[in-house]
Every structure is written in structure tokens, then in C-alpha cells.
Structure 1
Amino acid sequence: MSDPGTTPAPEPLPAAPTLESSTGAVGAPPKSIRQAVALMYAGAVVALINVVIAAFSKSAIRETLEKQHAALVEAYAKDPTKTKPWDLSKLDSYTSQAWLMSMISGAIFVALWVILAHTNKKGNSIARIIATVLTVLNVLFTVANLLGGFNLATFVYYVVTMALGVGATYLLWRRESSDYYNAVKASRV
């Protein structure tokens, strides 16, 4: 019995959650999965920012197409065997198409980041494989684009998204992550 003037001893803290309980239920994702998911959500935010920037870049797309057209005209004038320039009257149509494609592809990237974050958090091992494949493709695509020339904004975007993808993929393949995926798989059997 405790002394009336003293405070009672604190109750012990509950045990840390385990991956699999005696009932087969899987506990919370380990720290490596939670960190990977956070990086994926950060990737979605970066992709969303890119979409917002692209939404206001229609005039820049038009300028780029005008420069490409001028280069084609110059090359074709020197050598008619080169690619024939496209009809400049279609510039508005081509600008709108390029802008729309950048918006659609940006929305797809945002969705992929979010979906992969959500499914990996739930322990779906197929999502881990898909995230890994997409990260490898992203690294290859980034290297190819950076070798072809870039501006500072493009460089920053590619490097940041590549770093987020590589970091998340590394965390998804840590031992505690693999144990979590295995425990989720075993609980579904």
C-alpha cells in the first residue's frame, strides 16, 4: 500500500507493436515503411507543384515550338532532304496538345506516387516491386534527359524526384520492411 502523501507509481508502457500477433493480425508498418511512404507523399507534392507550374506555362510551350519550327525551316532550306517543317498555322493546336499532355502526365505522376505510398503502407509486396521498377526507369530517364541538356528548374525537378524515388526504394527493401511484407502476406493466407 502506498503512503497517502505520495503519488502512485506510473503504469508500465505497453509493449511495442509486433508485426504479427497470435491472431495473425499484422501490426503497424515499421519505421522504414513509414519513412518510405513519407518520401512518396513528398514525391506527390513535388509532382503536383510541377503540374501547377506547367498549368501556367502554355506561353513557354508556344515559344519552344516556335523555336523548333524556325530551326526546322532553316535546316529544310539548306537541305530539302531534312524533315519538312510543320504548318505554322497549326501552332495553336500543337501548343494546346503539348500543354494538355503535360497536364495529363503530371496528374498521372501525382496519382502514381499517392497510390504506391498507400499500397506499400498496407504491405502490398507487388507495390514494392512496381515502385522499384518505376524508380529504375526514373533514374534512367533522368540521366538521359540530363545528358541531353537542361535548364536549372528541370535539373532540380529531376534530381529531387530521383532522390525521393531512390530513397523510398531503399527503405522499402530494408530487412524490417521485408519482414513486414512477409507478415502481411502470411496473414492473408
Structure 2
Amino acid sequence: MSDQPAPPPPPPGSAGPYQSAPQMSPDGYAAPPRAQLSPPKPVDLAVKLMYAGAALSAVNIVVSLLSKSAIKDDITDRLGDSATQKEIDSAFASFNVQTIFAGVIAVVLWVLMARFNQLGKTWARIVATVLGGISVLSLLAALVVGTIPVLLVIQVLVVALAVVILVLLWKRESSAYYKAQSAPRA
């Protein structure tokens, strides 16, 4: 034991033994915290529309599951008269699993894209653009292959929503926001 008294506790708000010290810049000075910019109106609206897209994807799951007879009729028509009831039931079960799986993934992607685009993550804007392109291709495939009308209407709404969102995300004001958010920290 030493004869020296214990050092006084650190003043409130300072870095104590269990708190992290302020980040230091290379020249030895504490770097000021980076100001969090608020998203501009186009990005803010795009984010809100992405949450609407998540809700629309959830509605698509419910409508698909509630359209049992129309979907079974469509499956029966596609498989032809030689299809057994077991084959029809199997195809219908497969459709339900695919619908739920794809729908849940769509909801999660909409929410993730909303959150990361709100933060101004450049990669999220690019991923949202790719997903928007996939959505358009999916609609084109549905038009070629065919689907029940209510699901086609939902898919058209999803694509329209995606197009509006992408226009908002790529506006000059939005691009400035993404650039500012991805700028190196001082």
C-alpha cells in the first residue's frame, strides 16, 4: 500500500475508467463528432414509400393465401386434365411455401432498404436500384406466364412504387445527401 491518497474521481461527463475516450485525430486533437444530416425530402419520402412497399408485400402474402380457389384453378389449368389431385395439391402447397418465403424476404428487404437509405448509405441506394430492376423483370415474367388478376394488380403497384422510389433516390438533392453521408470523417 502506498501513502498517497487515491486520485479524485473524474468530473462528470469525462471519460471515466469504463467510458470510451474521445476519438483522436492523427494530429492528437479530439475529432469533433460528425453531425448527422437529416435526409432531404425526396429521400424521406422514398423511405416512407419503402415502408409502404413492405406493407404491400405483406398484403400480397395474405391475398395469395386467401385466393386458394383461384390459385388452385390456375394450377389445374396449367397442369392440364391429366393431372391428379395429388399433383395439384402438391403444386398448390409448393406455391404457398414459395409465396410465404418470397413475401417475407420482400418485407425484410423493403424495411432494410428503408433504414439504410434513410442513413444515406450509398450501397443501399445501389441495392435498391438493383431490386427495383428485379421487380420490373418479375412483373414482365408474370405478364408472360400469367397470374391471377389480383396478384397482378399488386405486382403492378409494387413496380410503380419502386419506380417512384428510385426517381426520388436519384434526384440531385438525394445524391448530395448520399455524398455527404459517405464523405470521410474529419
TM-score, length basis structure 2: 0.73
Does the alignment pair 1:50 with 2:60?
A: yes
Does the alignment pair 1:99 with 2:96?
A: yes
Is 2:60–2:151's contact at 8 Å kept on the other side of the alignment?
no
Give, in angstroms, the shift of residue 53 of structure 1: 1.2
Does the alignment pair 1:155 with 2:165?
A: no
Alignment of 1:75-114 (within 5 A): 88-114=85-111
Query: Which residues of structure 2 form unaligned runs of 5+?
Result: 1-31
Q: For residue 177 of structure 2, what is the amino acid of its counterpart?
A: Y
Alignment of 1:1-80 (within 5 A): 23-71=33-81, 73=82
How many residues end up aligned between the 2 structures? 155
Give, in angstroms, the shift of residue 95 of structure 1: 2.1
* Residue number in structure 2 paired with 1:172: 169
In 1, Cα distance between equivalents of 2:98 and 2:134: 20
Query: Which residues of structure 1 form unaligned runs of 5+?
Result: 1-21, 74-84
Q: For residue 33 of structure 1, what is the amino acid of its counterpart?
A: V
In 2, Cα distance between equivalents of 1:43 and 1:65: 27
* Residue number in structure 2 paired with 1:183: 180
SS in 1 for 2:35: coil
Give, in angstroms, the shift of residue 158 of structure 1: 2.0
In 2, Cα distance between equivalents of 1:110 and 1:98: 18
| Alpha-carbon spacing, 1:103–1:172, altered in 2? closer, same or farther (3 Å) | same
Does the alignment pair 1:130 with 2:127?
A: yes
More helix per residue: 1
Give, in angstroms, the shift of residue 109 of structure 1: 0.9
Is 2:40–2:174's contact at 8 Å kept on the other side of the alignment?
yes
Alpha-carbon RMSD across the aligned residues, in angstroms, is 2.2
In 2, Cα distance between equivalents of 1:100 and 1:58: 13
SS in 2 for 1:176: helix
Q: For residue 91 of structure 1, what is the amino acid of its counterpart?
A: I
* Residue number in structure 2 paired with 1:17: none
| Alpha-carbon spacing, 1:122–1:49, altered in 2? closer, same or farther (3 Å) | same
Is 1:65–1:91's contact at 8 Å kept on the other side of the alignment?
yes
TM-score, length basis structure 1: 0.72
Calculate percent identity across the aligned residue pairs: 38
Q: For residue 118 of structure 2, what is the amino acid of its counterpart?
A: K
Give, in angstroms, the shift of residue 32 of structure 1: 1.0
Give, in angstroms, the shift of residue 117 of structure 1: 0.6
| Alpha-carbon spacing, 1:37–1:31, altered in 2? closer, same or farther (3 Å) | same
